[in-house]
């Protein structure tokens, strides 16, 4: 029982680390975005001035995680001089929700009573008043606008009001926009853009060396009393061997060539750790191979492998029509091709129609008109969503595909 516990505990620990952004993105280098961001915001706090910064980078590159680390440190260094207001474009992109949320969080920060019945004007005036009072008290309000590009839709009243309030001499505020769009500042209107200082921090995916350091950081167990010493040492030695293995490096490079962001790497590690053998209690290279296979999915090929023979026949007929330069086809023309091409074992029309509808549900084909209600299914134009290569591959992967159909497809290709 005791022996079983520390193996399960090891899996839980590694999974906890993978799911914890604070554990992943620690970097004390002066050149890191963490240090730059902390310096910028600290300067705004100590020098009592306003600032606005954009954090730009692809999804999964750690923008939010680094910012949370910086805010955490600032709250420790300046506990009475910093308050944080967090908004998200997915939730607060309309101005009413945004001002209401600002008022709610400001009330929580300053132990005030929040009124749900307050109107839009009440909330916006309240924000301006609080900013003024905070400025007089030498307190900096940090606004975090996640999904910043979503706030740039519509009339941008929130951004204008917020940045306009910061023009006042007495206010001290920092606006931090986080976005995955590199052109986030181009989305702003002129009146808003003129009030926004164009400081940007780019978050780039880590290099191969940094990724390997990150692997060691995540996957090694601490050599302390929480785990049996011999087990922890052996575990870390095995992890070291896996990371230095040539075949593992090939798999990792193949995986990161598609997407080298940190979040993408974490998904890979999560799958590998989840497949760890609880009998031996150690990670192996096979765990990472299984993780690579299970994450890298080919949905269209999976759909084709699942198709019945009749569905494959319909797809081949559509491909033949496509090769004949027919840009659009519908069920009637496919049936015409089906009748002329397949001379034996033909099914009834309504059976083919249901198989045709199954293909639409699988999204191997789709309607090209937008929600035409007056035409029945037979007459609506459709097109193939798979390429010839995918269809070839799918026919060969399907175990019940008749050889005649494969030959028919080869002739067309």
- Give the residues lining the site for another protein (CB under 8 A): 8, 11-12, 15-16, 18-20, 59-60, 64, 88, 90-94, 97, 100-101, 104, 149, 180-181, 263, 266-267, 270-271, 274-275, 294-295, 297, 299-300, 302-303, 305-306, 308-311, 328-330, 332-333, 336, 347-348, 350-351, 354-355, 358, 361-363, 373-376, 378-379, 381, 399-400
The interaxial angle of helices 285-295 and 262-274, nearest 10 deg, is 120
CA distance 124 to 121: 5
Q: Which residues of 340-352 are buried (b: 16+ CB within 10 A; e: fewer)?
A: eebeeeeeeeeeb
Minimal distance in Å, beta carbon 257 to another protein?
A: 16
Kindly tell me which of 42 and 274 has the beta carbon lying closer to another protein.
Answer: 274
Distances in Å between the Cα of 14 and the Cα atoms of 21, 60, 223, 236, 352 are: 13, 19, 14, 12, 51
Kindly tell me which of 133 and 277 has the beta carbon lying closer to another protein.
Answer: 277
Minimal distance in Å, beta carbon 309 to another protein?
A: 4
Q: Is 325 exposed, middle or buried (0-12, 13-18, 19+ CB in 10 A)?
A: exposed
Kindly tell me which of 76 and 373 has the beta carbon lying closer to another protein.
Answer: 373
Kindly tell me which of 62 and 135 has the beta carbon lying closer to another protein.
Answer: 62
Minimal distance in Å, beta carbon 357 to another protein?
A: 9
Per-residue DSSP letter, 378: G
Longest CA–CA span in the chain (Å) reads 88
Minimal distance in Å, beta carbon 32 to another protein?
A: 22
Q: 């505020």: which residue's tokens? A: 173
Minimal distance in Å, beta carbon 341 to another protein?
A: 16
Kindly tell me which of 164 and 363 has the beta carbon lying closer to another protein.
Answer: 363
Minimal distance in Å, beta carbon 132 to another protein?
A: 26
Residues forming a β-bridge with 126 = none
User: What are the tokens at 377?
Assistant: 């299914």
User: What are the tokens at 283?
Assistant: 């990670």
Kindly tell me which of 134 and 214 has the beta carbon lying closer to another protein.
Answer: 214
Sequence-ordered list of residues with C-beta below 8 angstroms from that of 356, at least 6 positions apart, any chain: 314, 331, 334, 365, 377
Kindly tell me which of 13 and 40 has the beta carbon lying closer to another protein.
Answer: 13
Minimal distance in Å, beta carbon 164 to another protein?
A: 23
């Amino acid at each position: 029982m005791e022996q079983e516990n520390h193996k399960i505990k090891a899996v839980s620990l590694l999974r906890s680390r993978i799911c914890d952004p604070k554990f992943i993105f620690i970097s004390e280098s002066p050149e890191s975005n963490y240090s730059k961001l902390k310096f910028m915001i600290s300067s705004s706090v100590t020098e009592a001035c306003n600032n606005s910064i954009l954090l730009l980078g692809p999804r999964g590159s750690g923008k939010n995680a680094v910012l949370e680390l910086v805010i955490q440190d600032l709250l420790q260094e300046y506990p009475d001089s910093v308050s944080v207001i967090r908004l998200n474009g997915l939730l607060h992109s309309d101005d009413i929700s945004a001002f209401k949320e600002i008022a709610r969080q400001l009330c929580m920060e300053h132990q005030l009573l929040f009124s749900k019945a307050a109107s839009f004007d009440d909330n916006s005036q309240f924000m301006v008043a609080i900013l003024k009072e905070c400025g007089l008290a030498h307190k900096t309000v940090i606004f975090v606008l996640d999904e910043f590009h979503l706030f740039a839709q519509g009339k941008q009243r929130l951004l204008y009001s917020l940045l306009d309030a910061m023009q006042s001499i007495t206010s001290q505020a920092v606006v931090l926009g986080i976005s995955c769009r590199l052109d986030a500042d181009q989305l702003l209107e002129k009146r808003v853009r003129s009030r926004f200082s164009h400081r940007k921090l780019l978050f780039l995916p880590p290099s191969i060396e940094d990724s390997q350091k990150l692997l060691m950081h995540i996957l090694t167990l601490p050599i302390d009393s929480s785990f049996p010493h011999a087990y922890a040492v052996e575990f870390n030695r095995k992890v070291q061997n896996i990371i230095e293995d040539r075949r593992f490096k090939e798999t990792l490079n193949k995986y990161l060539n598609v997407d080298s962001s940190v979040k993408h790497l974490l998904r890979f590690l999560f799958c590998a750790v989840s497949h760890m053998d609880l009998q031996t209690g150690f990670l192996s290279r096979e765990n990472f191979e299984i993780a690579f296979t299970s994450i890298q999915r080919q949905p269209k090929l999976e759909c084709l492998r699942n198709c019945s023979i009749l569905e494959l026949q319909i797809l081949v007929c559509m491909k033949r029509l496509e090769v004949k330069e027919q840009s659009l086809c519908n069920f009637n023309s496919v049936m015409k091709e089906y009748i002329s091409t397949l001379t034996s074992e033909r099914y009834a029309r309504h059976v083919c129609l249901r198989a045709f509808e199954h293909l639409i549900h699988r999204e191997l084909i789709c309607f090209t008109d937008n929600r035409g209600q007056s035409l029945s299914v037979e007459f609506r134009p459709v097109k193939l969503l798979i390429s010839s290569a995918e269809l070839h591959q799918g026919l060969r992967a399907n175990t019940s595909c008749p050889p005649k159909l494969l030959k028919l497809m080869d002739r067309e290709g």
